[in-house]
């Protein structure tokens, strides 16, 4: 919550992992876990890090929207397989930034749900298809932004 509060007023924050670990009285690896799980591209953030004595972690809010670099970056970074949570994070981000309506988000979530993709025998196949469907959606959004 602390880092998200910092990011509410600025587009990027640079921190030393050890400083944050000391501030919250945790080990630095816990900081890595929090950043890795809460500040993902799917949630609208890019994370850069440099290890070593002068190391830092930089968290940058990505400009999200059909006319932004976000969709192109997302397409480049999209994994080959995707679970429901990862897909939902992307859809929530697109909705929060008014790229999708809440109704569109719900419809797409239904298409990407476990129940819908359960017709495929393996979980790996379901996650592969989910990623492919989401990639097609992002490509369509990118195409529409280029037409405008």
CATH number of 69-147: 1.10.1200
- Per-residue pLDDT, 118: 93
Exposure of 134 by Cβ count < 10 A (0-12 exposed, 13-18 middle, 19+ buried)?
Answer: buried
CB 31 within 8 A of CB 51: no
Q: Does pTM top 0.85 for this prediction?
A: no
pLDDT attached to residue 119: 93
144: pLDDT strictly greater than 90: no
Q: Is the pLDDT of residue 14 over 70?
A: yes
Tokens representing 85 are 């949570």
For position 80, what pLDDT does the model report? Answer: 95
In terms of CATH, what superfamily is 2-61?
Transcriptional regulator CtsR, winged HTH domain (3.30.56.130)
Q: Where in the chain is the domain with CATH 3.30.56.130?
A: 2-61
**Phi and psi, residue 71, nearest 5°:** -65, -40
- CA triple 23-26-32, angle to 5 deg: 100
Intervals of CATH 1.10.1200 along the chain: 69-147
**pLDDT at residue 54 tops 70:** no
Rounded CA-CA distance 107/12 in Å is 32
Per residue in 105-121, pLDDT tens? Answer: 999 999 999 999 999 98
């Amino acid at each position: 919550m602390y880092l998200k509060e910092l990011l509410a007023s600025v587009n990027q924050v640079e921190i030393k992992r050890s400083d944050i670990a000391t501030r919250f009285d945790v080990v630095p690896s816990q900081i890595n876990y929090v950043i890795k799980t809460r500040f993902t591209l799917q949630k609208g953030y890019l994370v850069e890090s440099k290890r070593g004595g002068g190391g830092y972690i930089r968290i940058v809010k990505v400009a999200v929207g059909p006319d932004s670099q976000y969709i192109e970056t997302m397409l480049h970074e999209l994994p080959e397989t995707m679970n429901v949570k990862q897909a939902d994070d992307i859809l929530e981000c697109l909705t929060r930034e008014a790229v999708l309506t809440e109704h569109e988000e719900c419809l797409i979530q239904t298409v990407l749900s476990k129940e819908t993709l359960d017709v495929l025998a393996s979980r790996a196949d379901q996650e592969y298809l989910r990623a492919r469907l989401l990639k097609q959606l992002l490509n369509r959004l990118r195409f529409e932004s280029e037409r405008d």
